[in-house]
Structure 1
């Protein structure tokens, strides 16, 4: 800690333990740090180990007045780089994280060498931090890392249940037209159908963990001192205006990936907390390609798809005749490793690069990239908009 750190405001940041939530929280933390905050970034033990493997101990320890702490989410040990099942993770967070975070806060508060904690910034689906903050008299700001429309959708989960629209009576809802039901009573969201709501409404189980967890967490955000949303008003003005009438003070701060480029000291990319080791050689490959001609394919950090879908996408890319950069995570195929046929590689050998992970913002900013085939995660959407790259959309889950 530097000599003048004691006088700094101190923010404790608590991201949801998934790559798509870590990145915007780190971008926000970097912006706070650049504007004079001492930052404590709270990872789960599992993700901190992954971060150490991908970025190294030197990276973790290299930022003055920016420290990492850990809590456990309570899950048993698993494969070091495996994606944790979202439902299991949410259930464990709800059960285990409040007491361990309370203990961490007590440790930070009692450490006289640290600046006094000014606020907690917690992910919008980590609301246990609100309860802990109340116990210590520390204001808590909830950071909603996804879209404002998604937030409003989750806020209405309880109402959908109350009106007996969900859960469905059986699994036939996929085929019987139930998802086409118009939902015309959600403020700021016109012409909505049930299938336009976050995908966790698609259940026949009233006890579905994701339906209940996300609905409860969105409601809990309303108890916070303020809410930060990673969006911008020109994109979601109507729903943001509607949320403002329901909620504590709302601060719209996105796209954070663009704001983080304004950081005065060093490169914003240095703060990108990748849980996978990034392949930098793909940028050299892009340098050799024709301008505005390469298809970039990435289905995000937690998407799991069938081996059949992997193969269908592969042949679609092969038949496009375009060169393509395809990010294929080791764990992308459900219950198995993705194995592509030899004929695919023979067909595409001079115009295909497959790799396990990359620096997406740098790829999208590369002049050779013409289109982005995406699962439509919010970070990917904002990064593609920011880079001016058109998207081919294959929505996977959530909002």
Structure 2
């Protein structure tokens, strides 16, 4: 790694639809001279390594991108398909690991992390980064329409179209 290159930590949500766009962004950052530390949960890390081994180079690394696994907070045998438990575990566990990685950055050969580019759904890590003097950029890796809809949910609840669980409360008028 080039010690003079600016260092960015990229933090996707642990789901393929979130990891893939942030990995593509990471490659773009490398192409523009950045060093990238791509932080993902252990299961996602294993899937990335498996995919790398199936490429023509067949290695465990990506040029300019350091892959770093962290725990997701779930115990062995826990059902990661239980979204409520999984999100709760990740939100409790991951910020501490992000903090540790940021604090440990700067040791040779990589420079200190200056920016955290994180999936919006990993926003519970943003304050940790800010408290350590790291700039934060939030990325929404899905469509603009889904983001717009998400921003309108409070208004749809207030207007009585859906309840606070997202279920319709009344028929839509045509």
Alignment partner, residue 59 of structure 1: 59
- Report if aligned partners of 2:12, 2:18 keep a CA contact under 8 Å in 1: yes
RMSD: 2.7
- Report if aligned partners of 1:120, 1:129 keep a CA contact under 8 Å in 2: no
TM-score normalized by the length of structure 2: 0.83
- Label 1:91 to 1:163 Cα distance change in 2 as closer, same or farther (>3 A): farther
Aligned pairs for 1:63-82 within 5 A: 63-78=62-77
Alignment partner, residue 93 of structure 1: 90
Alignment partner, residue 18 of structure 1: 15
**Larger RCO of the pair (alpha carbons < 8 Å, separation 6+):** 2
Shift of 1:89: 2.4
Alignment partner, residue 107 of structure 1: 104
- Label 1:179 to 1:153 Cα distance change in 2 as closer, same or farther (>3 A): farther
Cα distance in 2, alignment partners of residues 93 and 83 from structure 1: 10
Q: Which runs of 5+ in 2 are unaligned?
A: none
2:13 is the counterpart of 1:6: no
- Report if aligned partners of 2:80, 2:86 keep a CA contact under 8 Å in 1: no
1:70-117 CA-to-partner distances (Å, cap 9, x unmatched) read 2212112359xx9744333222222222122211221224x2421232
Shift of 1:150: 1.0
- Report if aligned partners of 2:102, 2:113 keep a CA contact under 8 Å in 1: no
How many pairs were matched up?
170
- Report if aligned partners of 2:52, 2:59 keep a CA contact under 8 Å in 1: yes
Alignment partner, residue 134 of structure 2: 138
Alignment partner, residue 44 of structure 2: 47
- After superposing on structure 2, the runs of 4+ consecutive aligned residues of structure 1 that deviate more than 6 Å are none
SS for the counterpart of 1:60 is coil
Shift of 1:121: 0.5
SS for the counterpart of 2:134 is coil
- Report if aligned partners of 1:11, 1:120 keep a CA contact under 8 Å in 2: yes
- Label 1:159 to 1:49 Cα distance change in 2 as closer, same or farther (>3 A): same
Alignment partner, residue 120 of structure 2: 124
Cα distance in 2, alignment partners of residues 132 and 10 from structure 1: 17
Q: Which runs of 5+ in 1 are unaligned?
A: 183-399
Alignment partner, residue 178 of structure 1: 170
Shift of 1:56: 3.0
TM-score normalized by the length of structure 1: 0.39
- Report if aligned partners of 1:94, 1:128 keep a CA contact under 8 Å in 2: yes
- Label 1:43 to 1:181 Cα distance change in 2 as closer, same or farther (>3 A): farther
Aligned pairs for 1:302-321 within 5 A: none
Q: Give the greater-gyration-radius structure (CA).
A: 1
- Label 1:112 to 1:152 Cα distance change in 2 as closer, same or farther (>3 A): same
Alignment partner, residue 153 of structure 1: 149
